[in-house]
């Protein structure tokens, strides 16, 4: 699975809450998590950009080029992942995530996989997923994972 346009679809409050929770979970108290959240809110809500000689204010998400964007997106993905994994009725095997790209094994039926996918897309209003599934090969992080004759292969 992959989150669709993660950086530009993270709602500010959801992302800020994710960052505050991550700071508290890892016992980071200096600087104060509330101060970090306040600075992050400033960065997110004051992101102006120019296109075709017009200025725009980005209302949702974070600009890909800001220094905070990769860490912010990863922390947000971690919260989204926890929200999914703690509330889904059917469990996966071998869940692996790199920022917004997710690879997992599904030990249930294809119909149940589609139900899980629908469940994931209903967790949040703007954070949506795409999915690719196969019993023989799948793309993940610019590689293709292949199963042939009960052997695993990777093709770049």
Domain ranges of the chain: 2-155
What's the pTM?
Answer: 0.81
Q: How many residues does the chain have?
A: 156
Q: What separation in angstroms does the CA of 72 have from each of 56, 84, 135?
A: 22, 18, 34
95: confidence class by pLDDT, cuts 50, 70, 90: very high
Intra-chain end-to-end CA distance of the chain, in Å: 19
* Residues whose CB falls within 8 Å of the CB of residue 155, separated by 6 or more in sequence, listed in order: 143, 144, 146
Distance between CA atoms of 103 and 100, rounded to whole angstroms? 10
Q: CB of 42 within 8 A of CB of 62?
A: no
For the stretch 8-39, pLDDT in tens is 999 999 999 999 999 989 888 778 888 999 99
């Amino acid at each position: 699975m992959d989150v669709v346009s993660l950086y530009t679809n993270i709602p500010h409050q959801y992302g800020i809450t994710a960052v505050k929770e991550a700071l508290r979970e890892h016992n980071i108290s200096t600087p104060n998590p509330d101060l970090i959240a306040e600075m992050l809110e400033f960065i997110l809500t004051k992101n102006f950009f120019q296109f075709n000689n017009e200025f725009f204010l980005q209302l949702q998400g974070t600009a890909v080029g800001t220094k905070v964007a990769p860490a912010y997106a990863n922390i947000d993905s971690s919260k989204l992942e926890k929200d999914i994994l703690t509330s889904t009725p059917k469990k996966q095997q071998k869940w692996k995530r790199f920022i917004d790209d997710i690879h997992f094994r599904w030990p249930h039926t294809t119909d149940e996989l589609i139900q899980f996918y629908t469940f994931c897309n209903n967790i949040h209003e703007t954070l949506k997923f795409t999915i690719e599934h196969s019993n023989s090969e799948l793309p993940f992080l610019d590689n293709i994972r292949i199963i042939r004759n009960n052997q695993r292969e990777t093709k770049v």
